[in-house]
Structure 1
């Protein structure tokens, strides 16, 4: 027997209830846009209120928001609605964006008065970013880039007032693989590392005789060498002996004395000892040793960032990470992007401006800034960056010339163009440009944002 018909009112209630259930299910299934946002007015150790607006928070990305990316957002002190929005990605991979905030941009308040800046701890496992499952920690270049893109979309949805601002994706060192206003960027990892040999020769770190010998014996290949090629192996050993005691991030600065020294091979990839700090040394040093080393500046950040009161103030979720480190060298990270030049070529055709400065910035959506301040940088030598730019086959509009800050030469620059696209290339410093040359970097970026010549 067929069931009796229900009154119309009951049908209406049933439909309403069903729609409500569907809506509730949809809300539950949709990923949270921003899991948490905290406005911070003061921080432990800083006297009084902060001189800028600081927001921190987590954004869930990946399947079911398994990966929780942590960020610091500093609003422009000039005109937030008019100034550019910058997404800052620190290199490594695995170095916390907080390092960029404190030691690079924040040290001189470089961009706080000309841009709104999101400092992102990416990839997962960097800084305070974490995953809810162990699978979430397995990351590649392409996965990291996709998660960063997803982060940015969600962040903008939660901050709609910034959706009309000019967007720059910037960073330094390895962030050149996944970013775009570029400082001492990694563009083609193999070629960048391979260029350390000609860089060493140009800086007279190796003799003319050794350089000519290694070029011949290794046939210009210093990374993927044949171990049975005895003359090449012997020459590489001689080069390593010449440069292994230098501070690679800036060859003019003293090298730090590590408790367990790890010589860096000529063709090796990123390593914490390459311009980074040694936690063992920092924890055991009773006082700042001499000679002064840049890494000693990082001592107190480990103590501060791991303090429970500080983490509570920053809005860090308790138990989400075991210990904060400035650069996490133990990431489960796989390289799968071996050249970004094709991406550059495609973006050039779209008419974007570009700035490459030699010292550590790499990838931007609305503009490129290739700034190679690192003419003393042997981690990512300027030799490889300049070769990458040449391979783009752009037209030179302004040839090599100096640019000035306070009447002093701040560096040298070249201008390139392709139709409506513009690329500015400048050089002159150590690996992480704002850390080594804060005043010059501020002047450079301020002029560039304003479309002024350097």
Structure 2
């Protein structure tokens, strides 16, 4: 899947003009007591032909050996979810201290399972309009999957030019959810850049994806199979729907009243399921926890946790500490809904979904010298693990280690399988619903990735 000459020329143009870098080391943060016990840098890098797009980032050095540990570019899903979301709620060294937080400046505490204990991580607000990233022209906010990936690749190259000491570190690109679309596109850009001789040469080693949206049709369509396997649907209802809809549960079936009837029955069985985490309650506006203590919910909802993030990130003192440029954004939101719609919708005003599947990208990487880690939470119904396993099998890579359980403290924490072909290696793992377990396993995988030979650049 080689890029066209026009695409390569556009990439070369991105690097032809000098780039202005803006960054600062942040030693303290509002809400955290004392000096940060790790090195945090924030800043902007301009991308686009005239650098009219200013992408904001958080860079955290590894707490182990920053000179030699992997460098990981992390792309939060959405599209349009801020890198701060991944930093606070997923893999970063800080998280909200809910027990000691108030509405003004919520308290922060250390995350004992942070990936930054073994890796240098760049969290970037992408695409433009996400988090603190902004554009200098209104037209620059209009983007799509491929253009956003080119901007992210340009960001990475420019960031490494500004941080040349990390050029020799093993490089990985990672992300989750919608990043299953953007990560392969960025990886493809990196390969094209290496083949085109773009300097500096990136020390590319592989990529990581969690519950990745990979094929818009299959991932959504396989929610039916997942629901059946999890016991949401009876045998009779599943078989009837599969037959009446001919295995297609997404596209409309005006010619089949029976299919429509069966899908309505399926909807009744699943409409109260929280698709992001099937064991948790469905979140709704009435249940959200207000920060001033009023309108307390009847039951906890994960979205309640995000409200503290909004309060922290929109505080002017916090923004000054982070080095956010005044007047560049009106409000920080965790995921900027104005850029996107649901995955099945093709277009919004600002964002065009112009890549329907990235399976062929993954297939093209099987002839590279690369290591890949794909993991799926087994209680995620948005991108069900059954769909991810299906496209991985379609790559037709030989199995090296058969399907087996993996453990944390003598307890089964999920299942894993390993594929390999020449210098290509893919590890896939399911993860039980415990977020602690997921962080432990994936962090251990990062450790294993840094212990491999780094002699061969990903070609």
TM-score interval, smaller chain: 0.7 to 0.9
Shift of 1:165: 0.7
C-alpha distance after superposition, 1:206-261 (max 9, x if no partner): 111111111111111111122342111111111111111111111012222323xx
Change (3 A) 1:204 1:156: same
Tell me the SS of whatever aligns to 1:64.
coil
The higher radius of gyration belongs to 1
Separation of aligned partners in 1, 2:292 and 2:282: 18
Q: Which of 249, 253, 257 is the matching residue for 2:284?
A: 257
Shift of 1:446: 2.6
In structure 2, the gaps of 5 or more residues are 1-14, 93-110, 184-206, 340-349, 454-459
Higher mean displacement: 243-252 or 82-91? 243-252
In structure 1, the gaps of 5 or more residues are 1-28, 260-278, 359-373
Higher mean displacement: 328-337 or 82-91? 328-337
Q: Which of 158, 173, 177 is the matching residue for 1:173?
A: 177
Q: Which residue of 2 aligns with 1:18?
A: none
Count of residue pairs brought into register by the alignment: 388
Verify: 1:409 aligned to 2:412, yes or no. Answer: yes
Verify: 1:216 aligned to 2:243, yes or no. Answer: yes
Q: Which residue of 2 aligns with 1:355?
A: 373
Q: Which residue of 2 aligns with 1:90?
A: 76
Separation of aligned partners in 2, 1:439 and 1:282: 32
Q: Which residue of 1 aligns with 2:193?
A: none
Change (3 A) 1:123 1:287: same
Check conservation: 1:108, 1:439, Cα contact below 8 A.
no
C-alpha distance after superposition, 1:65-117 (max 9, x if no partner): 11111000000111111000000000011111101011111233421121100
The correspondence of residues 351-430 of structure 1 with structure 2, limited to 5 A, is 351-358=369-376, 374-430=377-433
Verify: 1:326 aligned to 2:334, yes or no. Answer: yes
Check conservation: 2:119, 2:446, Cα contact below 8 A.
no
Q: Which of 36, 46, 65 is the matching residue for 2:22?
A: 36
Separation of aligned partners in 2, 1:117 and 1:323: 25
Higher mean displacement: 172-181 or 83-92? 172-181
Check conservation: 1:175, 1:186, Cα contact below 8 A.
yes
C-alpha distance after superposition, 1:244-279 (max 9, x if no partner): 1111111012222323xxxxxxxxxxxxxxxxxxx9
Q: Which of 48, 51, 75 is the matching residue for 2:61?
A: 75
Q: Which of 310, 328, 351 is the matching residue for 1:302?
A: 310
Separation of aligned partners in 1, 2:452 and 2:241: 44
Q: Which residue of 1 aligns with 2:131?
A: 127
Higher mean displacement: 134-143 or 402-411? 402-411
Separation of aligned partners in 2, 1:135 and 1:128: 18
Shift of 1:58: 0.6
TM-score when normalising by structure 1: 0.81
Separation of aligned partners in 1, 2:78 and 2:436: 16
Check conservation: 1:61, 1:147, Cα contact below 8 A.
yes
Separation of aligned partners in 2, 1:417 and 1:30: 38
Q: Which residue of 2 aligns with 1:335?
A: 353
TM-score when normalising by structure 2: 0.81
Shift of 1:282: 4.8
Shift of 1:60: 0.6
Tell me the SS of whatever aligns to 2:178.
helix
Higher mean displacement: 80-89 or 30-39? 30-39
Higher mean displacement: 394-403 or 102-111? 102-111
What's the RMSD between the two structures over aligned residues? 2.1
C-alpha distance after superposition, 1:167-189 (max 9, x if no partner): 00001100111114111011112
Separation of aligned partners in 2, 1:88 and 1:223: 31
Separation of aligned partners in 1, 2:297 and 2:288: 14
Q: Which residue of 1 aligns with 2:160?
A: 156
Check conservation: 1:41, 1:54, Cα contact below 8 A.
yes
Q: Which residue of 2 aligns with 1:315?
A: 323
Shift of 1:439: 2.9
Tell me the SS of whatever aligns to 1:413.
strand
Tell me the SS of whatever aligns to 1:112.
helix
Shift of 1:143: 0.5
Separation of aligned partners in 2, 1:428 and 1:396: 20
Separation of aligned partners in 2, 1:96 and 1:436: 24
Tell me the SS of whatever aligns to 2:121.
strand
Separation of aligned partners in 1, 2:82 and 2:251: 30
Separation of aligned partners in 1, 2:413 and 2:20: 41
Tell me the SS of whatever aligns to 2:285.
coil
Check conservation: 2:142, 2:351, Cα contact below 8 A.
yes
Separation of aligned partners in 2, 1:282 and 1:244: 25
Separation of aligned partners in 2, 1:109 and 1:49: 20
